[in-house]
Structure 1
């Protein structure tokens, strides 16, 4: 369900929550951190307020301060947090505050797996807030838990109330968290990055659910996110935070149609969708909030900053009704809001998706199959089944090309990447490199992992981490390896002293640069990058994407880019392959797959991508319904048929072969979205195999 915001108003509904000059401090070993420093905002009944900004901007700490769920050493130093106009949560005694938590205010956290108790059935966890805030009997609590789980769309809720968190998918666990937060029918829901760790299809379902429930229950919602596309399609108003302060606060359309603060403009320019060249990269880092700050906090990173900005702090003021910003030199035009995409002033350069790559095949994957045995029994370990992770995937990557593999979690794209670099041995099929047989792991190929912190040895200095592949392959002396590590770290934009530091001393973006430097150590021709920017803010994401492009051009690299973010893949890749439950269902030139998808699954993925344009994002879409089937027992025939709106009887008995739509664009579907343009496959094997 999509809420109609065509009549966006300035006044809005009466406030459910009003925050006035809120200041939060956290005592740490070497000083005092001020993550929230003078925030003033409000949210009305039925309204969704988005809080956006980079990591460390204060958005999560603002949300946590509302209920005083602060880390050790944290406290509200000053300010008011009024609930319902009269109850000040900032000074409320703890016993009364416990009645508010989970009762009048519900909270959904980013990672449901760490928020749910692994030893307690989900039914009891959902009903727990109601048990604390009401005198209902155990039987009534159990009934209400089932009702709430059905309300949030959990399949087979009556049976799943007895399940444990690990038995549910990520999307199901997040639905459980929402049910738990809403069971007491709160006035306000605080959702802190509720979809960050989810696939685009599950993210779409969760956001649709929150929209529908707030419309049905009339509750206010504060949505904390770094995804500008999410707030564009959902929020009524948006607060942009930077270094503990509000940089800009206005209606969603006003913000996207006419951003006034340079920081807001810079965030928009870092977005990969509709980019006209090199992404804008915000220089420097956010300030250290332990240090005393003077002037505008964004001034050291702002391209428009003057001496006035560095000496005097601008106040948050409204130039037009309902549009506040804190800047001496605002961008945009006073009061102007246009229903067009955000204007970008990116640095000039070629569009990565159209850069020419060589025609010589570097990587050839032919009929790749990877099955994983499933065993039972703690001692005998009998084989109980097989997970069909990859089932007959074929594709070719040209030298100098970036090939993107996209799909939901569990589709097999990471398994393909691991097989390409030699970390997994294929069950069958061939992987040929440069026409000379299988690639040499490390020498010819290298894998860049999604989580750079988990991939780097915390006990090794970064210089040793980067030089380790050289040492393993006996390349050069110790002095030569040390010098080569320094060169590589400099090439990826890290300072000279980085080699002597440990991984925990770097930010997430810097650690990903270390991963890229390590990948370049043995000068491989092919790099498989597995979700390299999924955990990064939009500004840091832009830096890494720019760096990957620079390295590709400088070293003649070839990339296989694995991601569930179609916007990132579209920007960086020349060709895209779409995987579903172990099968490659569509492949072709990036722009053709994006603009004219032929497979219903690809169409669903494209429809669910959050777009940073509140006018475009208002169009409702089907997306991809239902849950991904188990790879232990995949559907017969077309594996997507159980979720496909066009499935017919033939889909259950015959596996579709790829059909050509010209220019290397293929889709494996019995009923492609533009059947008139398809060239029929040469033959269809009976029985659903090929």
Structure 2
């Protein structure tokens, strides 16, 4: 008998005037020791399925029909006291955002011990000892010390480890991981995923891995359930799904991946339209309105689920991919499935921005008189240039200085030293009043578009604000400019009267892009503009940015920790580590022939939507924590984590030197090329 068996589960969320059919008749099983992946866009029902199993539904949530059997017991028939004994004991859960899930008023050790004392009746001392033991199990450095820390004192990766420790404190039979790596760097993401995988093998527990990232589950899940609009539309083994997807929705998700476009040199496929309104779900195929293969029967009837001879299950009248055969025989490529368009590109012109020896130190002060006792070396002598019509990508872990560089160029921070030449002026040397003259030329596209907008303003006012401040034209010309921008970014003019909260995440990012375009800048600094978006929405925004660039000759500084996205969108890529630029060169050269060991480590940690590639990767990558920028290592700053470090690496800092004739440069005493 399966450890978990979900049968015909329906979960509803009651609103004031309607009912959302969040989960609509899904069934699946999870065997002991097995990892099941659940993938799909936001709103597909992934998280609601996980919360239904835990019976932690939001206000108005209910599961009136179906059953959830865990070891033979139907969880939906238990009262709240009985279910409280299941949560944290038989079933553990890793929540998406550990910072909001952890109690800020309690130490990490107490939060772990609390679960052990409640479920196992442990004493205070026994709970404390168990907390340190579990923190050690999840690879937390200095576990005894970290047990005394509060959540805000830990890094993002450490907080996620603490969340995993709480979930594992009582060695549950089932672990549910809901987007456990969404907000993490690729290096920390790899560590967390390997940790979950290793603990599953060691403890023999089952895992449900909920994510929108197809690369995350590629080498870790045994089977995958693809969800769309509250239903499971396809389920099979991971290898079979990735080699031969049968449902058009699954195929479209794969075609939206940045690595597909970068490998083929074509624009990403974008799933048109939006998912259906689940307060009034269509009676026919729920994906038909967005499907490129939809026919009349798809719009008239709901396709039943069918299973082929190798156990591949899907709900579609007109399945894609190869005919029913084994995954070893099925070979389906992007070119087999779609006729892709050539990626648009802008013609490169003269150098627009020249950054030379850029330095930014943040002072550390103490006492009533704010006496300086040290400094944080955020940016330490960075130099690069951006040409007209060019996209330069900047990658690296959190804390490497990417966003600080963006703020310096956009004028949100003052430089400590160095120069930024734009249009014959040194932006670093200008006073605030003088800098305003050049603010139209450089605009910032923020990571969190919602937080960057005033929630009390209609988006018409939000987008028009830069034009009002710069006193560009009269009111009529500004309004005409805004309507033109909305048409350009693919939003209807009627949306101008809405408030930010009335838009989806992808639509808000389009509004943010329109705002950045409003003053007709020459350079847009895009700081993680797609990191929080589903792969399908991400492809729409990336294609839009490329189209606008080709039309207007825009330049971008594109900042991200995702090398796959940066490779797709960039002409050149710069790699930063602890305030230093350690490698820079043509995108394809940096991606396929990295020189620096840090770049190689970043590439090895990128989740790839290919099970064979993921399984072949060594369980290593970049090890250790990022050193403190208050007291960075001497010589090469990467030497404390570098597999090739020798004595000279600590004695002298390696300069950026050329490798090849295409402008590829790296700073390493023992480069990979040699």
TM above 0.5, one fold? yes
**How many Å separate the matches in 1 of 2:438 and 2:339?**
36
- The one-character-per-residue Cα deviations of 1:166-219 (angstroms, maximum 9, x if unpaired) are 111000010011111001000000000000000000000000000100001110
Matched residue count:
658
Q: Which residue of 1 aligns with 2:628?
A: 630
Q: Which residue of 1 aligns with 2:415?
A: 426
- The one-character-per-residue Cα deviations of 1:575-599 (angstroms, maximum 9, x if unpaired) are 0000000000000011111111111
Residue 350 in structure 1 maps to residue 331 in structure 2:
no
Contact 1:278 1:347 (8 Å CA) reproduced: no
**How many Å separate the matches in 2 of 1:612 and 1:175?**
25
Shift of residue 315 of structure 1? 1.5
Q: Which residue of 2 aligns with 1:674?
A: 673
Q: Which residue of 1 aligns with 2:377?
A: 388
Where do 1:178-189 residues align within 5 Å? Answer: 178-189=164-175
Shift of residue 487 of structure 1? 1.1
Q: Which residue of 2 aligns with 1:556?
A: 553
CA distance change for structure 1 residues 214 and 342 in 2, over 3 Å: closer, same or farther?
Answer: farther
Shift of residue 477 of structure 1? 1.3
Contact 1:278 1:346 (8 Å CA) reproduced: no
CA distance change for structure 1 residues 39 and 566 in 2, over 3 Å: closer, same or farther?
Answer: same
Q: Which residue of 2 aligns with 1:223?
A: 209
Unaligned runs of 5+ in 1: 1-13, 676-690
**How many Å separate the matches in 1 of 2:339 and 2:102?**
45
* Equivalent position SS for 1:310: helix
* Equivalent position SS for 1:586: strand
**How many Å separate the matches in 1 of 2:438 and 2:85?**
58
**How many Å separate the matches in 2 of 1:518 and 1:279?**
24
Match of 1:399 among 373, 388, 391: 388
Match of 1:465 among 449, 456, 462: 462
Shift of residue 357 of structure 1? 4.3
- The one-character-per-residue Cα deviations of 1:91-111 (angstroms, maximum 9, x if unpaired) are 211111000000000000011
Q: Which residue of 1 aligns with 2:542?
A: 545
Q: Which residue of 2 aligns with 1:369?
A: 359
Where do 1:326-345 residues align within 5 Å? Answer: 326-333=315-322, 334-338=324-328, 342-344=333-335, 345=337
Q: Which residue of 2 aligns with 1:29?
A: 16
Shift of residue 647 of structure 1? 1.0
Where do 1:61-210 residues align within 5 Å? Answer: 61-84=48-71, 86-210=72-196
**How many Å separate the matches in 2 of 1:492 and 1:281?**
14
- The one-character-per-residue Cα deviations of 1:452-471 (angstroms, maximum 9, x if unpaired) are 00011111111111111111
Contact 1:362 1:435 (8 Å CA) reproduced: no
- The one-character-per-residue Cα deviations of 1:102-149 (angstroms, maximum 9, x if unpaired) are 000000001111111111110111121111111222111111111110
Match of 2:223 among 230, 237, 240: 237
Shift of residue 336 of structure 1? 4.4
Match of 1:360 among 336, 339, 350: 350
Unaligned runs of 5+ in 2: 428-434
TM-score normalised per structure 2: 0.96
**How many Å separate the matches in 1 of 2:364 and 2:296?**
66
**How many Å separate the matches in 1 of 2:340 and 2:198?**
42
- Over the residues paired in the alignment, what is the CA RMSD in angstroms? 1.3
Residue 411 in structure 1 maps to residue 397 in structure 2:
no
Contact 1:341 1:613 (8 Å CA) reproduced: no
- The one-character-per-residue Cα deviations of 1:59-93 (angstroms, maximum 9, x if unpaired) are 00001000110000101010000001x11011211
Shift of residue 660 of structure 1? 1.2
Shift of residue 304 of structure 1? 1.1
**How many Å separate the matches in 1 of 2:217 and 2:331?**
16
Shift of residue 359 of structure 1? 4.7
Contact 1:357 1:398 (8 Å CA) reproduced: no
Structure 1 runs (4+) greater than 4 angstroms displaced: 338-342, 344-347
Residue 437 in structure 1 maps to residue 437 in structure 2:
no
**How many Å separate the matches in 2 of 1:90 and 1:554?**
56
Contact 1:279 1:347 (8 Å CA) reproduced: no
Shift of residue 30 of structure 1? 2.0
Shift of residue 346 of structure 1? 4.9
Shift of residue 435 of structure 1? 4.0
Where do 1:227-626 residues align within 5 Å? Answer: 227-275=213-261, 276=264, 277-333=266-322, 334-338=324-328, 342-344=333-335, 345-351=337-343, 355=345, 357-377=347-367, 379-438=368-427, 440-621=437-618, 622-626=620-624
Shift of residue 441 of structure 1? 4.3
**How many Å separate the matches in 2 of 1:292 and 1:564?**
37
Shift of residue 16 of structure 1? 1.1
Contact 2:113 2:124 (8 Å CA) reproduced: no
TM-score normalised per structure 1: 0.94
Match of 1:41 among 16, 28, 42: 28
Q: Which residue of 2 aligns with 1:652?
A: 650
